[in-house]
C-alpha cells in the first residue's frame, strides 16, 4: 500500500504528460489495443482495487472504471478514475444516463476533465429495478447517443444550452455495441445505433462479450469501413454455471456448448478460464482493432491472458 501511495505522489505532477501519451495516442496508432475493466468497491476501502490497478498498469493501454454496473450501488467511477490518473494510469470514465439529468451529467464531465480524466465511455445504463436498490427512481434524461452529442458540445466549448464555457474539454469518446444480437432485426438495430454514435463522435467501441468468433466475423464484415476502432469484449468464464447463466440472462451473449464442456471437464477451472480467454482474444487479433478484457474480480489473471495471447 505504501508503494501504491508513492506511485500516486510521483505521478501527480505529470498528469498532463500521461494523458498525452496514453490511450488516445495508442488509438491513433496502428497498435492492437488492449483495455481492461475494474469495478469500484462497495465502500471506501480501495486498497485491493489499487493493487489490481498496479498489476494491470503496464499491460494495458487503458483501464475502464465502471459506473455502478447492473445498478448496484458502489463507489463512484469519477473518484476512482482520479486515483488512477494520480498513479499515472490512463482511465476510461464510464458514464451512464441512469442516475443523472443533463445538468449533473455535464457538471460531472467538466469535473472529470479538471481531475485529469481524458477518456469517456457513454452508456445509457441498466434500469435500477435490476440492482440492489430497486426502489430508486431512474432518470434517463439522455441516452448514450445524446450523451455523446453533449460531450461533443463540451469539447467545442459550449454546454447543452448553447452557453459558452470558460475552458473546454477535449474528451476521447467511446461507446458500446452488441455484435451478438439475438436476431437479424436486433443486429440491424445495433448497427443503426452504432452509426448514430459514430456520427456524434464515438472514436472507439468496446463490445459485449464474444464467444463465437464466426458470428463476430460476420458482424465485422457488416461494419467494414466504419471510421472507428472496435475492441472485442472478452469475459473470463469462471465456471460452467456462469456460462449457462449468461446464456439465459444476458442478451446477445451465447457461450457455445463446447466451451461449457471444456469448463466442466477441466481439472483446473482457473487455468482453463485463462486458456479460453486467451484463445478468444488471439482469434480477435485478425478481426478487429483490439480487445477489452472483463475479468469481473479476476483482474490479477489478466496479465496471464495477455501473455498467452502472444502480445
What are the tens digits of pLDDT across the range 80-104?
999 999 999 999 999 999 999 999 9
| pLDDT attached to residue 19 | 38
Helix (H) or strand (E) holding 12: helix 2-12
Does the pLDDT at position 6 exceed 60? no
**The three three-digit cell numbers of residue 209, written as one number:** 462479450
Does the pLDDT at position 124 exceed 80? yes
User: Taking the CB of residue 165, how many other CB atoms lie within 10 A of it?
Assistant: 15
What is the percentage of the chain residues whose pLDDT exceeds 70?
93
Does the pLDDT at position 14 exceed 90? no
On whether the pTM is more than 0.75, the answer is yes
Does the pLDDT at position 181 exceed 90? no
Q: What is the mean pLDDT of residues 10-15?
A: 42
Q: What is the mean pLDDT of residues 144-157?
A: 98
Cα–Cα distance, 84 to 127 (Å, whole number) = 28
Q: What is the mean pLDDT of residues 255-276?
A: 96
Q: What is the mean pLDDT of residues 15-31?
A: 71
What is the percentage of the chain residues whose pLDDT exceeds 90?
87
Q: Which residues fall within 8 angstroms of residue 44, CB to CB, at 6 or more apart?
A: 75
Helix (H) or strand (E) holding 205: strand 204-209
Residue 83: strand, helix, or coil: helix
Q: What is the mean pLDDT of residues 47-71?
A: 96
Q: Among 51-65, 140-154, 179-193, 218-232, whose mean pLDDT is lowest?
A: 179-193
Listed by start position, the domains of the chain span 2-303
DSSP secondary-structure letter at 292? E
Q: How many helices (H) and strands (E) does the chain have?
A: 13, 8
| pLDDT attached to residue 118 | 98
Residue 206: strand, helix, or coil: strand
**pLDDT digit string, tens, across residues 209-261:** 999 999 999 999 999 999 999 999 999 999 999 999 999 988 889 999 999 99
| CB-based burial, 44-71: b 16+ in 10 Å, e otherwise | eebeebbebbeebbebbbbbbbbbbbeb
Reply yes or no on domain 2-303 having CATH 2.30.42.10.
Answer: no
**The three three-digit cell numbers of residue 184, written as one number:** 437479424
Does the pLDDT at position 46 exceed 50? yes
Does the pLDDT at position 21 exceed 80? no
Does the pLDDT at position 165 exceed 50? yes
Cα distances (Å, whole numbers) of residue 243 to 71, 99, 181, 238, 253: 21, 30, 17, 8, 9
**The three three-digit cell numbers of residue 19, written as one number:** 494523458
Q: Which residues fall within 8 angstroms of residue 28, CB to CB, at 6 or more apart?
A: none
Amino acid at each position: 500500500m505504501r508503494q501504491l501511495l508513492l506511485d500516486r505522489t510521483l505521478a501527480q505532477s505529470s498528469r498532463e504528460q500521461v494523458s498525452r501519451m496514453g490511450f488516445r495516442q495508442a488509438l491513433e496508432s496502428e497498435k492492437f489495443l488492449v483495455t481492461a475493466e475494474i469495478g469500484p468497491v462497495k465502500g471506501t476501502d480501495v486498497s485491493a482495487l489499487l493493487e489490481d490497478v498496479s498489476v494491470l498498469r503496464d499491460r494495458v493501454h487503458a483501464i475502464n472504471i465502471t459506473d455502478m454496473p447492473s445498478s448496484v450501488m458502489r463507489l463512484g467511477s469519477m473518484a476512482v478514475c482520479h486515483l488512477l490518473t494520480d498513479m499515472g494510469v490512463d482511465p476510461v470514465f464510464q458514464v451512464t444516463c441512469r442516475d443523472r439529468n443533463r445538468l449533473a451529467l455535464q457538471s460531472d464531465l467538466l469535473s472529470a476533465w479538471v481531475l485529469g480524466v481524458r477518456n469517456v465511455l457513454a452508456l445509457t445504463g441498466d434500469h435500477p429495478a435490476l440492482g440492489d436498490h430497486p426502489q430508486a427512481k431512474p432518470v434517463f434524461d439522455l441516452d448514450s447517443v445524446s450523451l455523446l452529442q453533449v460531450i461533443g458540445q463540451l469539447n467545442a466549448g459550449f454546454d447543452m444550452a448553447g452557453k459558452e464555457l470558460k475552458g473546454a474539454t477535449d474528451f476521447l469518446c467511446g461507446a458500446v455495441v452488441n455484435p451478438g444480437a439475438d436476431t437479424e432485426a436486433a443486429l440491424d438495430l445495433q448497427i443503426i445505433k452504432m452509426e448514430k454514435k459514430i456520427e456524434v463522435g464515438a472514436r472507439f467501441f468496446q463490445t459485449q462479450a464474444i464467444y463465437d468468433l464466426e458470428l463476430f466475423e460476420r458482424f465485422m464484415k457488416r461494419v467494414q469501413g466504419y471510421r472507428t476502432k472496435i475492441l472485442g469484449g472478452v469475459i473470463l468464464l469462471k465456471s460452467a454455471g456462469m456460462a449457462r447463466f449468461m446464456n439465459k440472462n444476458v442478451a446477445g451473449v451465447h457461450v457455445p456448448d463446447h466451451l461449457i464442456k471444456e469448463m466442466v471437464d477441466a481439472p483446473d477451472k482457473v487455468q482453463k478460464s485463462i486458456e479460453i480467454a486467451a484463445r478468444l482474444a488471439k482469434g480477435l487479433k485478425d478481426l478487429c482493432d483490439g480487445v477489452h478484457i472483463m475479468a469481473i474480480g479476476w483482474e490479477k489473471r489478466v496479465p496471464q491472458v495477455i501473455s498467452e495471447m502472444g502480445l
